Structure 1
């Protein structure tokens, strides 16, 4: 399955900025594997003194950004799962800022964050491999808007690319 298979009626304007980060020929599972390597390589290459850096007052540290990437994948893969299982219950949105402080990301080691990311990503790939194309096309309602299971999955990768670009531009 490629991003080009995802139709505009399968997602809302909230998802466009992330989906536009991906090439139209992006393949779902390959994108998850490639993104996994890219995120790990980026964080492994960072000097340890940069991990607590914030580019402005009130902005997240690089550890907090990493935790946000992990948390967002958990939320979107859960949405993907529920929608792919044809659960018609509308799903709520979430406020990303509410998740940062309780995560205590700045107190975690880089190794702990990488271990958490690996576990979440491996679980996401196993789930995606278990879903067929028909179920991935199913559309649910998230935060009052339509979202297909496959658009939710691709959103994870686009969201990560969004944050990698910000890291490269403002943190490094």
Structure 2
């Protein structure tokens, strides 16, 4: 959620005593800094009610910057990069992976490439966990996850390569059974 205030305020909301250096570092890690400094008012640009003056990807990056600045012990990401182009998403995923070091990260995702490197993937169907394991294990099982993976490949999903494991990072990812349009068409089990 973005507030009808400046980009600076919306990022700094994650940490009350944030310095200018902290805000800029978080914005750079979220890959929004270059965009912000090109704006006529820079970090003092008003974003409008709920960030109306920003695109979906720009809103997400401001929100990610706020989260990076806050530096929480548990990180919950719900479709955190869904409105981003693939190149920006890969770049931000690297920042999020670095941030995940030494903490638990729960990611809710429909784009399975964003969770392929997870320590553990939980697959939900109709509100129940129906599969659990790592990416390769779930593909070998040929169940719901494998069908979703195949479906995304058939639809031409641009898969980012999994992010290298970071020592000390404990990540648990959750994948739901419905894409954003809530209209899965399952591929047959092989």
Q: TM-score range by the shorter chain?
A: under 0.3
- More strand per residue: 2
Please report the TM-score for the alignment, with normalisation by the length of structure 2.
Answer: 0.23
Greater RCO, CA 8 A, separation 6+: 1
Please report the TM-score for the alignment, with normalisation by the length of structure 1.
Answer: 0.25
- More helix per residue: 1
